[in-house]
């Protein structure tokens, strides 16, 4: 996922060739024309098939100025921000625009940091107006290159901390339902984070990452992937982060993570049952998923079956299932 995804889909959709070492030592290439099942399965299938030693990508020139930076909002602006977020993702005014709306909460910190991007020297009038109408501090400007913008955002990386990430996926509530569902998600995250504020150096964050219809359609147009997010429904992929200081608190943070993502899943289902959200497919974004989350149970049956048959073909003895660590096992 990137600021360019509404133009080009996922990064994986732009890979044109994988060089892969299989469990038996064979070196193969996976493309749209060669080992096509492996090519498809590597785009969302994790480390179940082989070792990718090289990949070739379709690149997109970024030889122009871009605009972006951050808006900072105080926590009392939460209801307005969530309403603006809902409207932005639903209407998605410009494919060259992108946002990530993030709330940060620690012992002495409680605010919103919004990451903004426009793929051009200045956004046209109207693109971000609902956000700019909310009182904020801005660091946005025109950058000479996309790289410069990304380096600017590195300012928010916390170095030297322990770090965990989890995720959940929600369909976007429609305009009639409004942002109340998003407020429930925020309140759950805030309350769980409050429960671990005694952990040394802890900082919790929740990031609302838009996946509008155009994002998902561009992914399909570029060959698709195992996630296969429907393009008839806007989504938000929620990233849940904890950073903290000491290994002695690992168990507390682990428990908080489980409470966070399970609670969010329950809230989504509750709102589906109440008719506030559509009952739709909700895959997990692997890049943000916590190691205890069940990635394969949330992916579509067709995608899982394709990946499983690919795994059996290219790794029939299960070498990568038994002799490697990390990732989500495909059995």
| DSSP string for residues in 261-308 | HHHHHHHHHHHHHTTSS--------GGG--TTS-HHHHS-HHHHHHHH
At residue 160, the pLDDT reads: 86
* Residue 43, φ and ψ in degrees, nearest 5: -90, 75
For each successive 10 residues of the chain (331 residues), what is the average pLDDT?
Answer: 97 98 97 98 96 97 96 98 98 97 96 98 97 97 96 85 97 97 98 97 97 98 97 97 97 98 98 98 97 97 98 96 90 86
- The alpha carbon of residue 131 and the mean position of all alpha carbons in its chain are separated, in whole angstroms, by 21
Query: Which domains can be identified in the chain, with CATH numbers?
Result: 5-61+299-322 (3.30.465.10), 66-288 (3.40.462.20)
SS3 label, residue 86:
helix
* Partners of 5 in the β-ladder: none
CB 305 within 8 A of CB 8: no
At residue 157, the pLDDT reads: 80
CA dist 222 and 12 (Å) reads 9
**DSSP 3-state percent helix, strand, coil across the chain (nearest 5):** 35, 25, 40
CB 101 within 8 A of CB 174: no
DSSP letter string, 188-246: HHHHHHHTTTTSTT-EEEEEEEEE-HHHHHHHHHTT--SS---SSS-EEEEEEEEEES-
CA dist 182 and 195 (Å) reads 20
SS3 label, residue 312:
helix
Distance between terminal CA atoms of the chain? Answer: 27
Strand pairing category for 162-171 and 27-30:
unpaired
Residue 43 CB-half CA count within 13 A? 31
- The alpha carbon of residue 310 and the mean position of all alpha carbons in its chain are separated, in whole angstroms, by 25
CA dist 315 and 290 (Å) reads 25
At residue 158, the pLDDT reads: 79
For the CA atoms of the chain, what is the radius of gyration?
A: 20
Place of tokens 């428990």: 255
For 176, which DSSP code?
T
At residue 113, the pLDDT reads: 97
From residue 314, alpha-carbon distances to 42, 51, 111, 136, 309 in Å are 12, 11, 48, 53, 9
At residue 325, the pLDDT reads: 86
* Partners of 85 in the β-ladder: none
């Amino acid at each position: 996922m990137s600021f360019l995804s509404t133009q080009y889909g996922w990064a994986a959709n732009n890979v044109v060739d994988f060089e892969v070492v299989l469990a038996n030592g064979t070196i193969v290439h996976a493309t749209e024309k060669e080992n096509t099942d492996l090519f498809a399965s590597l785009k969302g299938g994790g480390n179940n098939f082989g070792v990718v030693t090289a990949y070739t990508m379709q690149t997109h020139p970024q030889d122009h100025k871009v605009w972006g930076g951050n808006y900072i909002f105080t926590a009392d602006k939460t209801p307005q921000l969530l309403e603006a977020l809902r409207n932005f993702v639903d209407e998605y005014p410009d494919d060259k625009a992108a946002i990530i709306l993030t709330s940060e909460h620690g012992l002495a910190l409680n605010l919103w940091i919004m990451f903004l991007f426009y793929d051009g020297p200045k956004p046209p009038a109207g693109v971000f107006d609902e956000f700019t109408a909310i009182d904020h501090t801005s660091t946005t400007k025109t950058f000479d290159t996309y790289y410069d913008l990304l380096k600017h955002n590195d300012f928010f990386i916390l170095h030297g901390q322990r770090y965990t990430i989890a995720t959940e996926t929600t369909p976007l509530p429609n305009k009639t339902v409004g942002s109340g569902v998003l407020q429930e998600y925020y309140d759950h995250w805030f309350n769980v984070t409050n429960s671990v504020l005694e952990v040394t150096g802890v900082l919790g964050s929740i990031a609302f990452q838009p996946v509008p219809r155009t994002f998902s359609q561009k992914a399909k147009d570029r060959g698709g992937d195992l996630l296969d997010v429907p393009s008839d429904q806007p989504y938000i992929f929620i990233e849940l982060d904890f950073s903290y200081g000491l290994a002695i608190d690992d168990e507390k943070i682990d428990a908080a993570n489980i409470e966070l993502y399970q609670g969010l899943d329950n809230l989504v289902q509750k709102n589906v049952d109440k008719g506030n959200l559509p009952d739709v497919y909700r895959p997990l974004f692997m890049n943000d998923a916590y190691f205890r989350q069940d990635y394969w149970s949330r992916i579509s049956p067709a995608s899982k079956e394709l990946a499983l048959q690919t795994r059996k073909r290219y790794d029939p003895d299960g070498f990568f299932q038994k002799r490697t660590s990390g990732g989500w096992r495909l059995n």
